[in-house]
Chains A and B, each alone.
Chain A
């Protein structure tokens, strides 16, 4: 169903599979998943950093693959499953989250949701990544505090779990 306003389609009803649950939202089809999550679904663990897919702070999983939600229009999601940091493991029990705590990675912490989602997608596709694999996969995620060494160590720890 669409709502029309001054002859323009402005709002469409979407049924999204997010963190294993069906969520209904009425939004402009061009709305990035980032803002659907943050403004409409009360899921604010996914962060806004740049809006142009250049920093990775907004990383979520689409059918298990890491994508930048700031550049993913809600209309492109279809039946794919979206997983956010809140859905990775609510209690922080995912091996990547545990490794992040073990290495006390975070400084300001703002980029870490995105880092963790990128790392979790990497390990799902490649359970034993080399240093180069980690660098190649994680180079889309900026950490302004410079916690990269710990991020790398934490990914390696998580790979062993």
Chain B
């Protein structure tokens, strides 16, 4: 057993109280889990207190509260599994509820960064173990026996004398037992729930079409609102004529309001694309959609816009440039900037001299476009705002990040703002940006009625918060014996670069230089599944494939040699990855995919690996030519994310990430002409479909007892690199520019 005492020593974090009508409510704070979390500087301040709830009811049913919003990563199942494991209850008796937004009791409640399972692993098990211990104490007192003689099994307390009681019988008594100071957590070998494939607790509701999502939220008398935003980034509303719109049936109001007043201090996730909101409010969705078509709106260039940002880094002014941007010109501009001096992010050894003395230098440049998140459920939120309070409901990843903004916008204290978290129809980072809550709240206050704000697909796709547009130039120096003696990456982007300077191959090359630069833009961007990594893994992993080839080495063997050096004789400090675990996924993948072995001649194979969000992922992508075009028919994946809490759901997530990666690598792009997004719906933004998905994706997990780390993001980035490398084998030339598919026809295979 693992002894656990850290959580309770710093403050009185654990409270228990009797529920009215019997039963026990246990509240735990997770502050200690933050001490062990690395990369704290990337996390917002609100992460300071996390809590969880366990309800044990008299009928022996157990209601577990999921603190984090669900966007398909299956936290509503996996987090309660962790609680139930240590509580020692029968999973059949467990029901799960999404928690209310309550940062004081439940903490940050943030879904993203592949952090839910990782951050809650210890605190939730401690919460379960503490409750179990209190039940045992209460039982020992009732039966007048020593507490160490009271055992538990699946929600039943027993004593060798033959006495037995259900948790529900003892729950009220347990609620007044002092919270234990020392806890014993189970050893992984004793797990009975964690590591067992467990069905999605909301599966039945999903297949029967229950109204789980934000867009399904309904209140009698609720109005529907839509926002007509400018047709182009860099434009703003000049004037509008709503006469015809107001004559349309069902229409209640048309008006324009500002999202943020001048000088409003925006928080880190208050990204806003268009500040002037032209709003149509009506009775039903179709009436509002129709009436919008009658709006006469005049737009004008926004000019340079000054935003005031607060929060991390202190208050600062940010100038958003006014130019109406066009993709081809953006690419030219990036080429110009790539030649200019850039910010040095890391330097080891003497790269300049090493490149000068190299026997061979390889230099390659990679480009990738803006990507739209395209969550299947478009952005939407319900709001009912009065002078006294605000009730909001809908899909979002981090209510705690938007609440401070709502407090300022509505002039209401936190306890007068209720944010209900519905199931999300996808997130992928998009729903960390709560502008649509703020918009819904302001609209509701203005019309003095409950309102559901909804974006159409076109509104959603052309609004931004895209994955940035990226470029990176990589250089490698080989000596006369084909050893990699220097590595240089210079990355840029609109409006930010993607470089993670302390990731592999940093630490494995004696002479290393990483640099970054960026170009300001009015096209708004944000986190997109594995931010930055999703480009890095594409560029770096295809570059390493090319370098391995130049060195005359097998691409897996080449990486393993570098990782060996990174482990035995690491270069520099702050290398973020564990070289053993990185090598581990490559070795597992090599074995499971029969890499280099006969029997795979039919396939053009590409491999890639990456470390991000604390986990390790590697894929072999097998391409065949089908109907004259490359098709990814088969994929092998190897993951190391420590203990896999729910193996079946984990496999589903990795398979989904592989499909998502292939789709975005092949087809994904959002381009602009004079600021106008050139893709605005699924009819012109190509998404991967079932006939384009692989026939098989075989997922393997490294088996170890390490604390679990993230899984939503890590499998995604290396897919791009593996696809690029397999395409090289299929087409006989390298692919440097995403998306790859438009370039297929240009190149017959050369032998």
Contact = CB atoms under 8 A, between A and B. Distances in A.
Given A35-B286, A55-B376, A84-B209, A50 B425 contact: no
A106 interface: yes
Nearest to A36: B286
Interface string A96-107: 010011001111
B284 interface: yes
B208 interface: yes
Contacts of A47: 213, 215, 376-377, 425
Contact of A110 (B199, B425, B687): B425
Interface string B187-209: 00000000000011011101111
A32 to B, nearest CB: 7
Would you call the interface of chain A mostly helix, strand, loop, or mixed?
loop
Given A45-B211, A47-B425, A6 B378 contact: no
Interface stretch (B123-131, B175-183, B690-698): B690-698
Given A35-B285, A149-B696, A116 B378 contact: no
Contacts of B211: 44-45
B424 interface: yes
Given A92-B208, A109-B212, A149-B697, A104 B649 contact: yes
A109 B224 CA distance: 24
Interface string B631-657: 000000000000000001100110111
B660 interface: yes
Most buried by A among B378, B458, B689: B689
A145 B375 CA distance: 9
Interface stretch (B70-78, B410-418, B506-514): B70-78
B425 A135 contact: no
B409 interface: no
A101 B199 contact: yes
Contacts of A52: 457, 681-683
A48 B284 CA distance: 14
Contacts of A44: 209, 211, 215-216, 218
A62 B213 CA distance: 25
A139 B183 CA distance: 52
Interface string B467-499: 000000000000000000000000000000000
B247 interface: yes
Nearest to A45: B209
Contact of B376 (A28, A49, A90, A150): A49
A54 interface: yes
Interface residues of A, number: 67
Interface string A8-31: 001100000000000000011011
B298 interface: no
A110 B690 contact: no
A85 B208 contact: yes
A112 B286 contact: no
Contact of B284 (A30, A39, A104, A112): A39
Interface in B659-714: 659-660, 663, 681-683, 687-691, 693-697
B208 A139 contact: no
Given A11-B249, A28-B287, A40-B284, A51 B376 contact: no
Contact of B681 (A27, A40, A54): A54
Contacts of B216: 44
Contact of B652 (A57, A104, A111): A104
Nearest to A151: B690
B656 A147 contact: yes
Contacts of B206: 100, 106, 109, 112-113
Contacts of A1: none
A56 B215 CA distance: 16
Contacts of B199: 101, 104
B113 interface: no
B365 to A, nearest CB: 29
B274 to A, nearest CB: 21
B394 to A, nearest CB: 13
Given A39-B284, A54-B681, A107-B72, A146 B208 contact: no
Contact of B687 (A86, A89, A136, A144): A144
Nearest to B685: A54
A142 B687 contact: yes
A30 B289 CA distance: 12
B210 interface: yes
A42 B211 CA distance: 9
B249 A148 contact: no
B428 to A, nearest CB: 8
A45 B73 contact: no
A155 to B, nearest CB: 10
Q: Which of B71, B208, B682 has the most CB atoms of chain A within a 10 A radius of its CB? A: B208
A109 B690 contact: no
B435 interface: no
B266 interface: no
A108 interface: yes
Given A35-B286, A84-B209, A138-B690, A108 B423 contact: yes
A142 B376 contact: yes
A45 B202 contact: no
B658 interface: yes
A145 B660 CA distance: 7
B290 interface: yes
B456 A141 contact: no
A82 interface: no
A44 B376 CA distance: 15
B204 A92 contact: yes
A70 B648 CA distance: 34
Nearest to A99: B207
26 contacts: A40-B284, A54-B682, A85-B209, A89-B208, A97-B207, A100-B203, A101-B207, A106-B72, A108-B425, A109-B206, A109-B212, A110-B377, A112-B206, A112-B207, A116-B207, A134-B690, A139-B690, A140-B689, A144-B375, A145-B72, A145-B656, A146-B657, A147-B652, A147-B655, A147-B659, A149-B696
Given A48-B285, A52-B682, A144-B426, 13 more contacts: A39-B286, A51-B457, A55-B682, A101-B204, A105-B652, A106-B72, A108-B424, A110-B375, A111-B376, A139-B689, A140-B689, A147-B656, A150-B655
Closest 6 CB pairs of A and B: A45-B209, A146-B659, A110-B425, A108-B72, A85-B209, A107-B72
Interface of A: 5-6, 10-11, 27-28, 30-32, 35, 38-40, 42-52, 54-55, 57, 84-86, 89-92, 97, 100-101, 104-113, 116, 131, 134-136, 138-152
